[in-house]
Structure 1
Amino acid sequence: MAKPSLRQLDIFAQMAAAGSIARCAGDLGIGVEEVARDITALEMRLGYKLFDDLHGTARLTQAGRKTAQAMTLLEQDSSEQAPAAKESPPENLRPPLAGTARRSVTLGAPPPVFGHFQEALAAFEEANEDVAITLDLHILLAAQAREALGEGKIDIAYFYALGEPPDLPSRYGWSEPLSLYAGSTHPLAQQDMVSFREIEAAPMLAMEPRNGLRQISEDALQRGGITPGMPALESDNLFEIMTALRQGLGWFAAFGPMARDMGRVEGIRRLALETPLPAIEIRQAVGPRAAETPAVEALADYLFL
């Protein structure tokens, strides 16, 4: 699974408690720049902002509060934190679900996918006061979704796939193109068009072998006709990857928020491939007993509105 480093999580927790980057740096005995770099790396991994005005009051964003709650539940098995303040929901939301018992619905999703519909989740909770949504940010691939749904650990799963898995009924949400990146001075980045054979002959940079993002990226590469070789670098440290790219050490495959961030980094360029690679699908699946729980079906359908 693609997990942020323990260091990044520790700094995130300290930042949330300290309320300012200067105080956090002082408490940890490190520089402000080091704190900012680790928080930025964590936000790149998750695909959304955790703090408003990092160098000012450093207030948690709505997504940051939800992430802090999810990490507390998953890593420490502690009680839920206070719910985040939410904006008023749109007027066209459905009325609150019937019943007075507060129903907890657990949503499993990759962190960047949670970032995609965090506002919709907040609006749903606001409109349905009898429903509390908790998150499991460890779900990435179909196998993990299947296991968690089957064991009743989650009610709704979003996961990365290349089409519908044969043993997990699901519906298509959206697609994210897989792109390849290299340093702007790399020979491949200088070409108007790059063939798959040229890609295979060049060194690859990759995330750690157990990282789910690497697994789905390599599956898409192989399905598209590229057989990756032994990586020249394996690292879950995105700044290390970006440094190696700018140094011309190889190419790197990315999709979603990570790809968007790569495309904005000075000295890194998206390669112009002769043929597009298969896109990564984001799919939704629900638990086998979802029909018995109106809140689960209502949330699953609402996220598709």
Structure 2
Amino acid sequence: MITPTLRQLDIFAQMIASGSVADCARDLDLLPSDIEREIDALETRLGHRLFDRTGGIATLTEAGRKTVEAMQMLSETAPENWQDTRAPTPAPAPTPSAIIAKVQSRDRSDAPVVETSARQTITVAAHPAIFSHFQDALTAFEQTNADVVISLDLDTHNAAQAIPRLIAGRIDIAYFYALGAPEGWPSRYAWSEQLSIYIGDAHPLAALESVMAEDLHGIAPIMLVPDNSLRPMIDEALSLAHIERIDPVLETDNLFDIMLAVREGRGYFAAFGPLARDFARMDGIRRLPLAFPLPAIDVRQAVRTAPQDDHIVSALSEYLFR
């Protein structure tokens, strides 16, 4: 498989943080032509455009946002599989888990203006797929409030990760996946992502007009790896739906391997959010028409401090929530 170089991933991350080719070149002490060449090469490797580059501004495409999520998945694996062909000692670029939210996007003139006596950094934690829902709002808030810098933590995905980080003050605002309100920290419901189950077209279940929970008994699931932050919620949701738990036929975070296993009829795969939407569009794979409900996966918001303790964090959390 052709993999991106570390240099290209550095430039991709810095391009997101800088917001334009010119600013990215300045921040990395490179020529704009160097930036454009590396981004073009990365886009060629990946087979899709990562940025809309018009008027000097670089805005992530939908494929670019998905690539940010893919980089998050890559960061959970050992980097020895990446080619290290970086130029000698370029200026360091932020990793996907510490990108500053400076992506230029459509104007949001309704962003509130808040007063602060000193420059303040607010850390917002979210899964990359959740972050895409309020990327424009974060940019507008930061542009409207010059003394506020917003940084992102893309490694916080569930309540078990978010609550300790909120308590320790490592993050200020968290959006995380959960099955209902978790104990240990107050949070509020933002929206839900429906869990769906997918099977190969050739599998006997694909011919059924309606699938019951007992129809899945004895069929092995295809699952994400146990330490994937989304796995516990999928496991719990399937358990709440009274689907029999048997050992997975495959456990992997490699989506290509999952797709092949589902197409080959080796088992079913449960997914939600962007991953579920991607699976629904794949040839040879069908979403099962379930005759029983599956629990929805909540997206919840939690804030580090009480509103009266930090009015800037409070203002941003309310702005993102609406």
| TM bracket, shorter-chain basis | 0.7 to 0.9
Measured in 1, the distance between the counterparts of 2:219 and 2:7 equals 36
Match among 166, 170, 173 for residue 153 of structure 1 = 170
Q: Which residue of 1 aligns with 2:108?
A: 89
The structural deviation recorded for 1:108 is 0.8
Q: 1:224 aligned to 2:241?
A: yes
Counterpart mapping for 1:6-21 below 5 A: 10=6, 13=9, 16=12, 19-20=37-38
Q: 1:36 aligned to 2:53?
A: no
Match among 304, 312, 316 for residue 287 of structure 1 = 304
The structural deviation recorded for 1:224 is 1.6
CA deviation vs aligned residue, 1:260-286 (integer Å, no higher than 9, x gap)? 011011111100111010000001111
Measured in 2, the distance between the counterparts of 1:183 and 1:10 equals 36
The structural deviation recorded for 1:127 is 1.9
Unaligned runs of 5+ in 1: 1-6, 26-31, 41-49
TM-score norm. by structure 2 comes to: 0.75
Measured in 1, the distance between the counterparts of 2:193 and 2:101 equals 34
Of 140-149 and 220-229, more deviation after overlay is shown by 220-229
Q: Supply the AA of the counterpart residue of 1:93.
A: A
CA deviation vs aligned residue, 1:70-95 (integer Å, no higher than 9, x gap)? 98556798xx77944344323x333x
CA deviation vs aligned residue, 1:24-68 (integer Å, no higher than 9, x gap)? 49xxxxxx5xx327xx8xxxxxxxxx81369xxxx6618969x69
CA deviation vs aligned residue, 1:185-230 (integer Å, no higher than 9, x gap)? 1111111111112213112101111001111111111112113311
Q: 1:52 aligned to 2:51?
A: yes
Measured in 1, the distance between the counterparts of 2:202 and 2:320 equals 42
Q: Which residue of 2 aligns with 1:128?
A: 145
How has the CA–CA distance of structure 1 residues 73 and 146 changed in structure 2, closer, same or farther, with 3 Å as cutoff? farther
Q: Supply the AA of the counterpart residue of 2:50.
A: F
Aligned residues: 272
Measured in 2, the distance between the counterparts of 1:60 and 1:106 equals 21
1:15–1:24 contact (8 Å) kept in structure 2: no
Measured in 2, the distance between the counterparts of 1:81 and 1:302 equals 18
CA-based RMSD of the aligned residues comes to 3.2
Match among 168, 172, 195 for residue 178 of structure 1 = 195
Measured in 2, the distance between the counterparts of 1:89 and 1:147 equals 32
Q: Which residue of 1 aligns with 2:251?
A: 234
Q: Supply the AA of the counterpart residue of 2:139.
A: A
The list of structure 1 runs, each at least 4 consecutive aligned residues, that deviate by more than 2 angstroms after superposition, is 7-12, 14-25, 62-65, 70-77, 80-90, 288-291
1:21–1:36 contact (8 Å) kept in structure 2: no
How has the CA–CA distance of structure 1 residues 11 and 228 changed in structure 2, closer, same or farther, with 3 Å as cutoff? farther
Match among 158, 166, 169 for residue 186 of structure 2 = 169
Q: Supply the AA of the counterpart residue of 2:170.
A: K
Q: Secondary structure at the match of 1:101?
A: coil
Identity of aligned residues (%): 41
CA deviation vs aligned residue, 1:160-193 (integer Å, no higher than 9, x gap)? 1111112221000001110000111111111111
How has the CA–CA distance of structure 1 residues 99 and 24 changed in structure 2, closer, same or farther, with 3 Å as cutoff? closer
How has the CA–CA distance of structure 1 residues 104 and 88 changed in structure 2, closer, same or farther, with 3 Å as cutoff? same
Measured in 1, the distance between the counterparts of 2:255 and 2:10 equals 21
Measured in 1, the distance between the counterparts of 2:283 and 2:154 equals 30
1:62–1:85 contact (8 Å) kept in structure 2: no
Match among 294, 300, 305 for residue 277 of structure 1 = 294
Of 154-163 and 99-108, more deviation after overlay is shown by 99-108
1:74–1:136 contact (8 Å) kept in structure 2: no
Q: Secondary structure at the match of 1:212?
A: coil
Counterpart mapping for 1:60-79 below 5 A: 61=60, 73=94
1:109–1:138 contact (8 Å) kept in structure 2: yes
Q: Secondary structure at the match of 1:248?
A: coil
1:86–1:126 contact (8 Å) kept in structure 2: no
How has the CA–CA distance of structure 1 residues 128 and 23 changed in structure 2, closer, same or farther, with 3 Å as cutoff? same
Of 132-141 and 98-107, more deviation after overlay is shown by 98-107
1:221–1:277 contact (8 Å) kept in structure 2: yes
2:221–2:269 contact (8 Å) kept in structure 1: yes
How has the CA–CA distance of structure 1 residues 73 and 250 changed in structure 2, closer, same or farther, with 3 Å as cutoff? same
The structural deviation recorded for 1:234 is 0.8
Measured in 2, the distance between the counterparts of 1:163 and 1:155 equals 21
TM-score norm. by structure 1 comes to: 0.78
Unaligned runs of 5+ in 2: 13-34, 76-92
